[in-house]
Amino acid sequence: MKTSEIMATLQAKYPGENEYLQAVQEVLESVEEVYNQHPEFEQAKIVERMVEPDRIFTFRVTWIDDEGQVQTNTGYRVQFNSAIGPYKGGLRFHKAVTPSMLKFLGFEQTFKNALTTLPMGGAKGGSDFNPRGRSDAEIMRFCQAFMTELWQCIGPDQDIPAGDVGVGGREIGYLYGMYKKLAREYNTGVLTGKGSTWGGSVLRPEATGYGALYFTQHLLEKAGKDLKGKKIALSGFGNVAWGAAKKAVELGAKVVTISGPDGCCEISKGITPEMIDYMLVMRASNHDRAQDMVDRFPDQAVFHPGKKAWSVPCDIALPCAFQNELSEDDARELVENGCWCCCEVSNMGCQPGAIHYFQHNGVLFAPGKAVNAGGVATSGLEMTQNAEHISWSGKEVDEKLHWIMHSIHEQCVKYGTQPDGSVDYVKGANIAGFMKVATAMLEQGII
Ligand code: GLU
């Protein structure tokens, strides 16, 4: 396999699908050497098959807004790969959603899910619906309209969606309610991220952020460092940033920023528990404004309009918002201001130039598919509880999440350790995920 040849074919076939092409390029570059040591992979054309989604469903979603106006959006479900289990991955509601974005997310999800140790294939879905400024009733009507099409594509043993950007517990509730009505089937295992009284797993809302901090702890420990007293610059203020902030503070670090599309809040004394709780209010308001935090806590935070979290001096950067949110220039600014570690919590949060800059300037760096896998892993734990009709305690779920994050770190070390003893976490995560999916595909024949 030659990465450049496969990329040239994909570029010609899918011009302009930049996020998808970027995600594929990153994985292929990492695995090329190992792949070429396995002629059986080449013979079965594993890579050529793996970069194409199994199927993509596209549908019209029509709903009525609070003014009585008819609105139309596009909905998608990309079922990417089912080699190691049923399709699994979140739904994203965001104005910038395109097939390219969902293909990149579904491709990443395939390897991330493989790293979790649980039997889950990869998928992603969503819509170009923009939740900003929408009322609760509008969100409900949109979710119901979206499900009138999606329900035929999913099922508890077939494809299990969950949340992602713009889709949290509230949206999963509305989606599940409509699914139940349409499918006349009462299996809660069809969606994860549910409410705790009707099949949701305790700790699922926190799991992506908690898992990211557990991974960061392992990475720091391996490098002979720890989290205590370290300054963390964190971007976003949604569910993932919330969980990360909570656990970071609990582990003794100091979170000095949150951010949004409007700018960055600098919290020089460190985020407080009240501020962390307020992040939930900000997310539920659909204002999509980080400035709301400064309006609510004017003595404790300063707002920098139009700035990113990366302009504030820190030890550790945790991108928790959106793909490509950290550029090479941002990486340079971070390093100049003393940052020495970046754990990507958002999916593909760092641009390729930023990763390159970090890796060439001695910054400890780990990619999203390893760092943020605790979210989908806890979704997997939710599915197990649903299938057994039981619920585990917070302690049980947390122990399992800890074990999974430890195991992901071990897999990265196994496949990413370099001759000088350092760990290339990008390579480690990509090769570990790839080997598992490729081997399963090979064993299941040419399909
Ligand atoms: N959207 C999350 C992710 O990127 C969670 C997916 C899930 O729980 O299925 O991994």
Q: What is the DSSP string of 224-252?
A: T---TT-EEEE---SHHHHHHHHHHHHTT
Ligand 1, closest atom to CA 88?
Answer: 9
Show Cβ contacts of residue 112 under 8 Å, excluding neighbours closer than 6 positions. 122, 368, 369, 370, 372, 373, 376, 433
Residue 258, strand partner residues: 265
Q: What is the pLDDT of residue 261?
A: 97
pLDDT single digits (tens) 45-98: 999 999 999 999 999 999 999 999 999 999 999 999 999 999 999 999 999 999
pLDDT single digits (tens) 136-185: 999 999 999 999 999 999 999 999 999 999 999 999 999 999 999 999 99
Is the Cα torsion angle 94, 204, 407, 247 positive or negative in sign?
Answer: positive
E-only strand ranges, 270-362? 302-305, 316-318, 341-343
Catalytic residue among 112, 124, 246, 427: 124
* Contact 205 CB / ligand 1 (< 6 Å): no
pLDDT at 1 over 90: no
* Contact 23 CB / ligand 1 (< 6 Å): no
Give the neighbor-by-neighbor strand order of the sheet with 316-318.
302-305, 263-266, 254-260, 231-234, 316-318, 341-343, 364-366
Q: What is the pLDDT of residue 228?
A: 98
Q: Is 395 a catalytic residue?
A: no
Q: How far is residue 21's CA from residue 144's CA, in Å, rounded to a whole number? A: 32
Ligand 1 centroid, distance to 360 Cα (angstroms): 30
* 103, 107, 167, 208: residue to mutate for ligand 1 pocket, most atoms within 8 A of CB: 208
Residues 220-235: b if buried by 16+ CB within 10 A, e if exposed: beeeebebeebbbbbb
pLDDT single digits (tens) 401-426: 999 999 999 999 999 999 999 999 99
Tokens, residue 207: 């799991």
pTM above 0.95, yes or no: yes
